[in-house]
Structure 1
Amino acid sequence: MSYRRKNGTGGITKMPGKRNNPYRVRITKGWLLDMVEGKSKQQIVTLGYYHTRVDAERALNDFINNPYEIDKGKMTVEMLYHEWFDKYSAKLNGVSSERTITSAYKYISNTAIVKMNIRDVKSYHIKDCMDAAYVIVECVKEKGKKREASAETKARIKSMFNLMFDYAFEREYVSKNVARSFKIDKKIVEQRQLDKRQNNAFSVEEIQTLWDNVDKVPFADMLLIGIYMGWRPQELAIIKLEDIDFDFLGGFIEGGMKTNAGKGRKVPIHDKILPFVKKRYEEALELGSEYLFNDKYGQQGINMTYDKYRHRFEKVIKELSGKDYGERPTVHTTCYDKQVITYWISV
């Protein structure tokens, strides 16, 4: 969404998605003659990103009243992130990969490093940032609570800084990539491994409990479909009706994301869950939805998202067993000769 201003006074655009500072301010730095086309083209640069439109208007008006030179030496970590991510996200193949980065940035968006000039950032600033990273929980159940970054999230933050400063170094914004001058602390590595080992597979008894309550607990059928077909949560949530064929080879679903090997794979629909898939299919047609899974009672639309899936998953597990499987559980399954093999991984 853009907010129109008089010519020559810059522009304000609200960036899509959930961002801590969604209002981007851009100004015209000058004009450059294109010798091929024989036309002058604007040189538009980003002044900064701001939390509210009022803040953006104030920053733009301050610049107009007291112009200053905007160049790479003025760039903050926040500005670098948005410039880099605008280009990097265009190369990503799915929302899952994009969410990995936006989630990592969200954890550091409240720390002091985002306002630092990128040329002033040292390795210890990034280390301190990783240790101090946190978010304020937005979901209703724990709304307002402070959640510190897990070992896995800290690793993702480090990876994000690696890529951001690769970008800055290539464009000579900085003289070296300080993010790659150190490795992740050994304690973080050990904690990541421990967290992964603590994830437990569904037992035969637990799967049977799902079967015993599939008609009593909402979305228990969705968990069983995930178990018997091996879809990642995000893959499961975005299955479209057009991806389903009930006739060929007894029925299959085509989908997948994240890796080249996982994309566009055709997964047979297990006989036991075929009725669930058909029922969901018919419900989607009645709702006028193009997606297999829908939440008709959802307050933010009927379409299933990863966050909705996670919430429904945790609610089913807790209701049936009282167990809490952590912040972001992911079920992966593989079916061979009708035998179901289930295991857990951290994401």
Structure 2
Amino acid sequence: MKKNKYRRLPNGFGTISHLSGKRRKPYVAKAPAVYIIDEDNQTGKYSRLIIGSAETWEKAYQLLLKYNETPYNLSKKNTTLKQVYDAWSKEHFEIVSDSSEKGYKAAFSILENYYDKPFCKLRAFDFENAAKESGKNAPTLKRYKTLINMLYKYAIKYEITTVDFSQAVDLSSLRNRNPNKKKKNIFTKKEIDTLWKSKDKRTVQIILVMIYSGVRIEELLSLTKEDVFLDRQVFEIGDSKTENGIRTVPIADKMLPFFKQFMKEKGKTNHLILNAKGTKFGYHNFRKNYWNPTMEELGMNHRPHETRHTCASLLADHKIEPRTIKKILGHSGAMDLTEKVYTHLDDKVLLDAINTL
């Protein structure tokens, strides 16, 4: 019997195979192969989604034709990017560290303008444009690219889409530069004097504590009363974004009255600094409802992290040894071998340093 000849299918269109044996629908239509990466983002394998089976080659071809017009699972065509992320994160965040979770959340915020767009309609240039417009630095964009890969792996697994556009996302032009880098805008002496004139205001007290300790805002808001040791005049950072961030921070003499006041206050949680509800401050709540209005009221324009730059600058101006500055700030920076062996500095050394400010 002469073998039937069928038309050649275009590249990337999919395939049609004929199953052996007696079958009512022997022709199987399969979507184009997609490369599915492993969790380590290093290896993977090609996989094809079976679209359906048909009695004849022509009917299988029609299945492929319809699929290529809308290349995704029709029952999930309206699943948004945000819905995919929410479902993925619910599973993934159970197996990663808190710092990794924060990193993925920061990376996902880059796509805020695309949250409500159906996932299957996103393309590589959407992800590239979001990255370019975000102003994020290279480390964040690296996590961002990993997130995109993982979202596609998840979406393909649950047949939300079958085309993995993450492989085409190219962020190489952003690799060796920091598009979000801004000139360090430290608080001036005049601005610090202005803050002291308003020292009775809670938000100003928090700002001053940050300037006179170099502590990150997230670290400060996470402190509990058990982390504070007034007798030693220090507090302990046990949870930080870096290993070097886990450290002992001195409480400057000027800051001691604020800490004593914070310690006396009672709320629903045992955090050192409480919000109006008596619970832990959330970063975004603090930034939007407290930090920003205070900056506007005092005629200043600073981000919370600039208190940390200010502390480092002031310590350097007062000729404090670099290794002492790095221990206070919890930043290894460009530590040489000699500096790295100093795993501990006496509380008095740190306190004397911070009291020079």
TM norm structure 1:
0.55
CA offset digits 1:215-239 (Å, max 9, x no partner): 2x33211111112222211111121
Q: CA deviation at 1:306?
A: 0.8
Query: Corresponding residue for 1:204?
Result: 189
Of residues 229, 232, 253, the one that matches 2:236 is 253
Task: Indicate yes or no: 2:125 matched with 1:124.
Answer: yes
Query: Corresponding residue for 2:93?
Result: 89
Q: CA deviation at 1:209?
A: 2.4
List gaps (5 residues or longer) in structure 2.
Answer: 1-72, 312-324, 329-349
Total equivalences in the alignment: 241
Query: Corresponding residue for 1:214?
Result: 199
State the identity as a percent: 22
Of residues 278, 295, 310, the one that matches 1:317 is 295
- 1:4-153 correspondence runs (5 A): 77-78=81-82, 80-94=84-98, 98-102=101-105, 104-106=107-109, 108=111, 110-111=113-114, 114-117=117-120, 122-130=123-131, 150-152=134-136
Query: Corresponding residue for 1:271?
Result: 253
Aligned residue for 1:252, secondary structure, equals strand
Cα distance between partner residues in 2 of 1:302 and 1:337: 29
Instruction: Work out whether residues 218 and 316 of structure 1, in 8 Å CA contact, stay in contact via their aligned partners in 2.
Output: no
Cα distance between partner residues in 2 of 1:255 and 1:185: 37
Instruction: Work out whether residues 271 and 280 of structure 2, in 8 Å CA contact, stay in contact via their aligned partners in 1.
Output: yes
Instruction: Work out whether residues 151 and 189 of structure 1, in 8 Å CA contact, stay in contact via their aligned partners in 2.
Output: no
Task: Indicate yes or no: 2:255 matched with 1:293.
Answer: no
Alignment-mate amino acid for residue 208 of structure 1: D
Instruction: Work out whether residues 241 and 281 of structure 1, in 8 Å CA contact, stay in contact via their aligned partners in 2.
Output: yes
* TM-aligned CA distance change 1:74 to 1:243, over 3 Å: same
Aligned residue for 1:331, secondary structure, equals helix
* TM-aligned CA distance change 1:309 to 1:187, over 3 Å: same
Q: CA deviation at 1:89?
A: 2.0
Cα distance between partner residues in 2 of 1:154 and 1:282: 43
Kindly indicate which of the two structures has a greater share of residues assigned to strand: 1
Task: Indicate yes or no: 2:284 matched with 1:307.
Answer: yes
Of residues 180, 205, 208, the one that matches 1:192 is 180
Query: Corresponding residue for 1:40?
Result: none
Cα distance between partner residues in 2 of 1:279 and 1:112: 43
Q: Which has the larger radius of gyration?
A: 2
Query: Corresponding residue for 2:166?
Result: 178
Query: Corresponding residue for 2:228?
Result: 244
Instruction: Work out whether residues 137 and 179 of structure 2, in 8 Å CA contact, stay in contact via their aligned partners in 1.
Output: no
List gaps (5 residues or longer) in structure 1.
Answer: 1-68, 132-148, 342-347
Instruction: Work out whether residues 237 and 245 of structure 2, in 8 Å CA contact, stay in contact via their aligned partners in 1.
Output: no
CA offset digits 1:22-68 (Å, max 9, x no partner): xxxxxxxxxxxxxxxxxxxxxxxxxxxxxxxxxxxxxxxxxxxxxxx
Q: Which has the higher contact order (CA 8 A, sep 6+)?
A: 2
Aligned residue for 1:192, secondary structure, equals coil
Q: Once superposed, which parts of structure 1, at least 4 consecutive aligned residues long, lie more than 6 Å away?
A: 69-76
* TM-aligned CA distance change 1:97 to 1:271, over 3 Å: farther
Cα distance between partner residues in 1 of 2:186 and 2:207: 13
Instruction: Work out whether residues 213 and 251 of structure 2, in 8 Å CA contact, stay in contact via their aligned partners in 1.
Output: yes
Instruction: Work out whether residues 80 and 115 of structure 2, in 8 Å CA contact, stay in contact via their aligned partners in 1.
Output: no
Of residues 100, 120, 144, the one that matches 1:160 is 144
Q: CA deviation at 1:158?
A: 7.0
Query: Corresponding residue for 2:33?
Result: none
CA offset digits 1:128-155 (Å, max 9, x no partner): 4556xxxxxxxxxxxxxxxxx6412898
Q: CA deviation at 1:187?
A: 11
Cα distance between partner residues in 1 of 2:354 and 2:134: 31
Alignment-mate amino acid for residue 331 of structure 1: T
